[in-house]
């Protein structure tokens, strides 16, 4: 048998394909969030130009057709009812052309909102948003955000901008997910640039403020922007969930995972890693979801370190992460990945440990989607049998003509089951015998106690009588009244007093 080649991923494959040095993402065609946005903007600009060219072409054709029809109508001596109908039809077509042109013309109102997201005038009136949001006093996320901004000199202005933008996004729920992401990322970028100027390049201070901004905004917008109806995120969730269920037979040996779950500490780390990656779905803020992935990854590194008794490498980490994802089958996995990509602070995904671990998770999901027999060092026939459920790695497939190997395994397991059944029957029989012996022993003890009580009845002491005054015992004759021989005793001596 050939040696298992394992799962290897060069670290350069985690970086952006544009060579910018940041972490890329398989969900974004191997590009980092910055290059992905730039690429999307170029594509959108190209599409807008093509749409403009198409609209101008249609307008020219309609104008030419209108000019021809107008010349024909002028050449006719009289205006018939049919000519009036043609004129009215031409005007309707002309209005349609103008409508198409206006559709591709950027609106002045929209451009102002996009160019200046900090303008508070772009937000709806407070009365219109009151029904959609609870009061500031009852909103936990808002209170925390206000408390954080209080020490800042420009805290009030930052809060106004974030609140206005958040309320305006509620009315854009019908917008596509990419467009909503573009609006949020533009807001992040513009606010970050203003904070850089205000804090004079203190990146740590800027990042802390941006973290709170992200927390406030995404907590308020979570229901609007997570897995929106305009996307196919839910379909992808169901597809990856079914794929992982179909791969339930994949063993730790097939993935060459260097983890020994027989060690209690390793088993505990594996359970914690599974719990963390499942918990990701319960968080609302992208930063909190990334924190779950980071904790999961650190538990994986600890499990590998304890198993190998040495530091884990990247080649050890990725297959173990794939194994954890297969065991956990996290809920709404694709939706969570897309949500982080669209609405997380971009700087957090491009660098740092959060970005590194998130990129590895995306690579793991991509590997699971493309997993085949060659990846697990299996033949195509074996892989297809395991996927269809006709066989399992724990129940070998017969390779001989008569299936002797499989039959041998079947007979061994049947013999084992038969032996276990006989042992169980013996245990049950012994248990019943023990119960009977206990009953007999109880009856025997009760009979012996009763016999002893009958032979030696207990003496009941009578209470001592008191004197007439109630303060002392009666005379000795009363005490010895049961003694018959008392009558033969002489009377008791009485003291006598002698004079002189």
In 3D space, the residue among 386, 302, 293, 419 whose CA is nearest the CA of residue 344 turns out to be: 293
Chain centroid to CA 421? 42
Mean of the per-residue pLDDT values of the chain? 78
| DSSP codes joined into one string, 345-398 | -HHHHHSHHHHHHHHHHHHHHHHHHT--TGGGT--HHHHHHHHHTS-BTTBPPP
Instruction: Give the single-character DSSP code of 172.
Output: T
* Region for 6 from its dihedrals, namely left if φ exceeds 0, alpha if ψ lies in -120 to 50, beta otherwise: left
Judged by DSSP in three states, 15 sits in strand
Q: How confident is the model at residue 108 (pLDDT cuts 50, 70, 90)?
A: very low
Q: What is the pLDDT of residue 39?
A: 67
Q: What is the pLDDT of residue 24?
A: 64
Structure tokens at 467: 């004197």
pLDDT at position 56 over 90: no
Judged by DSSP in three states, 343 sits in helix
Count the neighbouring beta carbons within 10 Å of the beta carbon of residue 469.
6
- C-alpha distances in Å from residue 151, one per residue of 28, 52, 118, 145, 209: 38, 50, 21, 11, 12
What is the spatial distance between Cα 227 and Cα 223, in angstroms, rounded to a whole number?
8
pLDDT at position 208 over 60: yes
CA dihedral over 412, 417, 421, 427, signed as positive or negative: positive
Judged by DSSP in three states, 285 sits in coil
What is the spatial distance between Cα 165 and Cα 218, in angstroms, rounded to a whole number?
12
The tens digit of pLDDT for each residue in 237-247 reads 999 999 999 99
CA dihedral over 351, 353, 355, 361, signed as positive or negative: positive
Better pLDDT: 130 or 315: 315
Q: What is the pLDDT of residue 105?
A: 45
Least confident of 54-58, 156-160, 170-174, 203-207: 54-58
- Output the CA angle 382-384-386, nearest 5 degrees: 70
Q: What is the pLDDT of residue 276?
A: 97
Q: What own/partner pairs with CB < 8 Å and gap ≥ 24 does 162-167 have?
A: 162/191, 162/213, 162/216, 162/217, 163/123, 164/119, 164/120, 164/122, 164/123, 165/117, 165/118, 165/123, 165/217, 166/216, 166/217, 166/220, 166/221, 167/123, 167/124, 167/129, 167/132, 167/133
Q: What is the pLDDT of residue 305?
A: 95
Q: What is the pLDDT of residue 97?
A: 46
Chain centroid to CA 157? 34
Structure tokens at 139: 């909103």
Q: How confident is the model at residue 313 (pLDDT cuts 50, 70, 90)?
A: confident
Q: What is the pLDDT of residue 37?
A: 62
Judged by DSSP in three states, 109 sits in helix
What is the spatial distance between Cα 391 and Cα 379, in angstroms, rounded to a whole number?
13
Better pLDDT: 285 or 123: 285
In 3D space, the residue among 201, 299, 320, 314 whose CA is nearest the CA of residue 253 turns out to be: 320
Q: What own/partner pairs with CB < 8 Å and gap ≥ 24 does 31-34 have?
A: 32/349, 32/350, 33/185, 33/341, 33/344, 33/346, 33/349, 33/350, 34/346, 34/350
Q: How confident is the model at residue 319 (pLDDT cuts 50, 70, 90)?
A: very high
Q: How much of the chain exceeds pLDDT 90, in percent?
A: 42
Q: What is the pLDDT of residue 33?
A: 63
The tens digit of pLDDT for each residue in 425-440 reads 999 999 999 999 999 9
Q: How confident is the model at residue 109 (pLDDT cuts 50, 70, 90)?
A: very low
pLDDT at position 375 over 60: yes
The mean per-residue pLDDT over the stretch 283-312 comes to: 95
pLDDT at position 394 over 50: yes
| DSSP codes joined into one string, 120-140 | GGGSPPHHHHTTTS--TTT-H
The mean per-residue pLDDT over the stretch 130-148 comes to: 65
């Amino acid at each position: 048998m050939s040696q298992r080649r394992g799962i290897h991923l060069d670290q350069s494959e985690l970086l952006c394909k544009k060579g910018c040095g940041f972490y890329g993402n398989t969900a974004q065609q191997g590009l980092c969030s910055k290059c992905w946005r730039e690429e999307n903007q170029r594509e959108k600009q190209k599409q807008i130009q093509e749409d403009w060219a198409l609209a101008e072409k249609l307008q020219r054709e309609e104008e030419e057709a209108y000019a021809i029809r107008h010349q024909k109508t002028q050449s006719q001596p009289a205006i018939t009812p049919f000519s009036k109908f043609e004129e009215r039809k031409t005007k309707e077509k002309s209005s349609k052309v103008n409508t198409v042109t206006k559709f591709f013309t950027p609106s002045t109102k929209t451009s102002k909102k996009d160019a200046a997201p900090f303008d508070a005038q772009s937000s709806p009136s407070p009365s219109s948003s009151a029904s959609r949001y609870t009061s500031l006093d009852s909103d936990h996320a808002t209170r925390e955000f206000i408390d954080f901004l209080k020490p800042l000199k420009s805290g009030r202005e930052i809060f106004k901008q974030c609140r206005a933008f958040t309320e305006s996004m509620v009315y854009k729920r019908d917008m596509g997910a990419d467009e909503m992401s573009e609006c949020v990322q533009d807001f992040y970028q513009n606010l970050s640039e203003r904070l850089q100027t205000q804090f004079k390049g203190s990146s740590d201070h800027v990042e802390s403020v941006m973290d709170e901004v992200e927390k406030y905004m995404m907590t308020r917008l979570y229901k609007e922007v997570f897995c929106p109806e305009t996307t196919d995120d839910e379909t992808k969730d169901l597809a990856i969930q079914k794929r992982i269920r179909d791969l339930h037979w994949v063993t730790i040996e097939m993935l060459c995972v260097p983890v020994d779950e027989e060690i209690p500490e390793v088993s505990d780390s594996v359970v914690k890693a599974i719990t963390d990656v499942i918990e990701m779905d319960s968080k609302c803020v992208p930063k909190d979801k990334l924190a779950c992935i980071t904790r999961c990854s650190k538990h994986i590194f600890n499990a590998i370190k304890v198993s190998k008794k040495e530091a884990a490498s990247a080649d050890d980490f990725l297959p173990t992460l794939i194994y954890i994802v297969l065991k956990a089958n996290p809920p709404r996995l694709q939706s969570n990945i897309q949500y982080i990509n669209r609405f997380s602070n971009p700087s957090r995904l491009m660098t740092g440990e959060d970005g590194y671990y998130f990129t590895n998770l995306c690579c793991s999901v991509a590997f699971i989607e493309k997993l085949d027999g060659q990846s697990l060092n299996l033949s195509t026939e074996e892989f297809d049998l395991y996927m269809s459920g006709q066989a399992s790695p724990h129940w070998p497939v017969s390779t001989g003509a008569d299936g002797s190997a499989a039959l041998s395994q079947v007979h061994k397991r049947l013999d084992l089951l038969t032996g276990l059944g006989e042992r169980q029957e013996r245990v049950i029989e012994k248990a019943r015998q023990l119960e009977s012996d206990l009953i007999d022993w109880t009856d025997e003890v009760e009979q012996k106690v009763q016999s002893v009580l009958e032979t030696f009845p207990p003496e009941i002491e009578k209470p001592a009588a008191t004197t007439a005054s109630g303060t002392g015992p009666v005379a000795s004759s009363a005490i010895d009244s049961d003694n018959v021989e008392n009558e033969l005793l002489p009377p008791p001596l009485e003291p006598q007093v002698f004079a002189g």
